[in-house]
Structure 1
C-alpha cells in the first residue's frame, strides 16, 4: 500500500513538472520526442547552469560572511574590498563587470535572487538547455553593470539581479515569438506586466519619493531586463519561423550588440571630465586590511 501511495505521489509530481516545462514550449515543438523526453526526465543530468550558479553564489556569500568576521544582517554589509564586486574606483579590472553577480549584500538580497533564478531559470533550462539560459543570464549581468556604471558612476554594484531580470524577461521574448502556440500565455504576460509595473513604481518612488532611498541598482535591473528580452528572442528555441520573426531576430541581435558596444565604449572612453572617479591602484590585500579595520 505504501508503494502504491509513493507511486501515485511520483506520478502527480511528474505531471506538475511536465506541465510546468510545457508552459515554456511552443506547441509546434511538443512532438512525441519532446513529450517522451519530458516524461523520461529524472533530473539526471540536472539543469546544470542555474544550480551551479546558485551553489557558487551561496559559497561566495558564506566565504565573505566568515571573512568579514561580523554578523551578516538582512541588508548587509557587502564586502566592498572583494575583487569580485563592481568597484567604480577599479573599473580597469574588467572582470568585475561580470563577477559582481556573485556578491550579495545581506541574506535577503541573496535569497530573493536565488529563489527567482531557480524558479524561472530552471523552467527555461529544462526545455531550452543550459547554454541558452547561461548565455541569457550572463548577457543580463553584463548589460546590468554597464548600465549602472554609466548612470551611477560612483556606486558599487553587487548581486545577481541583472541576470535574474534577464531570465525573467527572456520569457517575454519567448512569448513574442510564440504567442499563438504558447499555453498559459495570458498568465505569463500578466505576471510579466505586473512585475514591470511594480518594479518601475518602486524604482521611481525609491529614487524620487523615499526619504531613505535604498542602494538598489535600478538601472542594472533595467539593463538586465532589456538584455533578456533581446537575447531571448535570439537563442530560445523557435522551430516555426515566420518571415516577420526573422526580421525580429536580426533586429534584436543588432540592438543588443549595439547597446553593449556603446556601453563598453562609454565606460572606457567617456569624454566627460571627472564623470568617473579616479582609479584606485591599492593592492587588494591592503584594501581588504583597511576595510576590515574601518568596520565598526
Structure 2
C-alpha cells in the first residue's frame, strides 16, 4: 500500500496493471488464431466466454469474468488497453495491488450483471470496458473523498469520453455504467473499512497477505459454483481467517506464523481443486491443440496419468504447495523468524493506527 496522498496524471503500469495488459493481449491472439480470420469470429468469442442473456440461467458463472478478456477487433483491444494503462497506473499505485484487483473484477462482474438485467432483448457482450470503467469510478471516488489530488480536468475529459463512446452503435454502454458505479461503490466500501480499521483490526496487512487471501476466496467461490449458501459459509470462514491472521501478525514472529498459515490454506484449497476437478478431466480435455500440438498432447497425457491416480496426485500437489508457498514468501518468512523482539509486529500495529482511509 502506498502512503502518499497524491498521484500523478500518468504512472508506469504496476504489477496488476501490467499482468492484465499481458493476459488480454495473449487471449486476443489465441482467440484470433482459433477464429482463423483477420478478426475474432463471433463463434470463437462465444466459445471463449462472451457473456450473454442466458448465462446465469445456465449457471455459466465463469462468463462473468471471462468475457472481460475478449475483444472483437484490434481497435477494440488497443483502446481498452490504453485506458487500462492510463487509469490503472495511478489507481494501483495509490491503493495497492490487492485492492486494485478487487475493484477491477468487482466492476467486471457488476458490468456483466447490469447488462444482463437491464437489456430489453438478446444480450451478448465482450471486452474489458466494465473493469476499466470501474478503475475510473474508483479514481473519481478517491477524488470526492479527497484522497487524491488529480485535477478536475482529468475526470471531465475521461468521463466525457465515456459518455461520448456510449453513443457509438456497438459499444455496450451498460457495461461502462455498471463498471463505473461498481468501482465507486467498492472503493467507498474499502475506504470505510480502512477508516474503521483500527476498531476492527490490530494490524495493517502486508500486500502479499491480502493478495493470497483474495485468490483463495476466488478459488473457493469457483469450487462452490457461487452458491449463495456456500458463499455465505465461505465468507464466514474468510472473516475467521482474517481475524486469525490479524492476531498472528500482532505477535512476535507472527509474520512467519502468517506465512505458515497461508501455506496450509493454499495446500488445503489446491488439494480440494485437484479432488473436485481431476475426475472430470478423464473425458474431453479441452486444450488448444491447434496452437501447439506437441505441448497440448503432452499436457493431455499428463492430465490423464494424474487422473488415473487421484490420491497420489492430490498428495503431490498438497506437498508441493506446502513447500512452494514459504519459498515464494521467503523474504517475509525470514523477516518473521528474525522478529524475536516483536519489532515487526509492533510496526504492523503502528501502521494500522496511523492510517485513516485509503
Which TM bucket (shorter chain)?
0.5 to 0.7
Indicate if the aligned counterparts of 2:106 and 2:183 stay in contact, CA closer than 8 A.
yes
Structure-2 residue corresponding to 1:230: 185
Structure-2 residue corresponding to 1:170: 138
Structure-2 residue corresponding to 1:24: 7
User: Per-residue CA shift, 1:13-47, capped at 9, x if unaligned?
Assistant: xxxxx9xx86339xxxxxxxxxxxxxxxxx9xx83
Q: CA deviation at 1:51?
A: 1.3
User: Structure 2 residue aligned with 1:82, among 26, 47, 56?
Assistant: 47
Indicate if the aligned counterparts of 1:137 and 1:164 stay in contact, CA closer than 8 A.
yes
Decide which moves more: 158-167 or 79-88.
79-88
Name the CA distance, whole Å, in 1 between partners of 2:285 and 2:174: 28
Q: CA deviation at 1:133?
A: 0.5
Structure-2 residue corresponding to 1:196: 159
- What residue ranges of structure 2 are gaps of 5+ in the alignment? 197-226, 229-283, 287-358
Structure-1 residue corresponding to 2:212: none
In structure 2, the CA distance between the partners of 1:231 and 1:55, relative to structure 1 (3 Å rule), is same
Q: CA deviation at 1:118?
A: 1.5
Name the CA distance, whole Å, in 2 between partners of 1:284 and 1:83: 15
State the number of aligned residues.
192
Task: Tell whether 2:88 aligns with 1:121.
Answer: yes
1:1-296 correspondence runs (5 A): 23-24=6-7, 47-72=14-39, 77-78=41-42, 79-91=44-56, 92=58, 93-152=60-119, 153-178=121-146, 182-183=148-149, 185=150, 187=151, 189-203=152-166, 205-206=167-168, 214-235=169-190
Q: CA deviation at 1:139?
A: 1.1
User: Per-residue CA shift, 1:260-280, capped at 9, x if unaligned?
Assistant: xxxx99xxxxxxxxxxxxxxx
Indicate if the aligned counterparts of 1:170 and 1:228 stay in contact, CA closer than 8 A.
yes
Name the CA distance, whole Å, in 1 between partners of 2:191 and 2:88: 13
Name the CA distance, whole Å, in 1 between partners of 2:92 and 2:193: 15
Indicate if the aligned counterparts of 1:80 and 1:87 stay in contact, CA closer than 8 A.
no
User: Per-residue CA shift, 1:71-98, capped at 9, x if unaligned?
Assistant: 12xxx54433324211324432111112
Name the CA distance, whole Å, in 2 between partners of 1:108 and 1:64: 15
User: Aligned Cα RMSD in Å?
Assistant: 3.2
Q: Secondary structure at the match of 1:80?
A: helix
Name the CA distance, whole Å, in 2 between partners of 1:103 and 1:140: 16
Name the CA distance, whole Å, in 1 between partners of 2:135 and 2:100: 7
Indicate if the aligned counterparts of 1:77 and 1:106 stay in contact, CA closer than 8 A.
no
Decide which moves more: 163-172 or 48-57.
48-57
Q: CA deviation at 1:107?
A: 0.8
* TM-score, with structure 2 as normaliser: 0.48
Q: CA deviation at 1:104?
A: 0.6
User: Per-residue CA shift, 1:246-288, capped at 9, x if unaligned?
Assistant: xxxxxxxxxxxxxxxxxx99xxxxxxxxxxxxxxxxx998xxx
Name the CA distance, whole Å, in 2 between partners of 1:239 and 1:23: 18
In structure 2, the CA distance between the partners of 1:196 and 1:123, relative to structure 1 (3 Å rule), is closer
Q: Secondary structure at the match of 2:71?
A: coil
Name the CA distance, whole Å, in 2 between partners of 1:165 and 1:61: 20
Name the CA distance, whole Å, in 2 between partners of 1:129 and 1:54: 17
In structure 2, the CA distance between the partners of 1:238 and 1:116, relative to structure 1 (3 Å rule), is farther
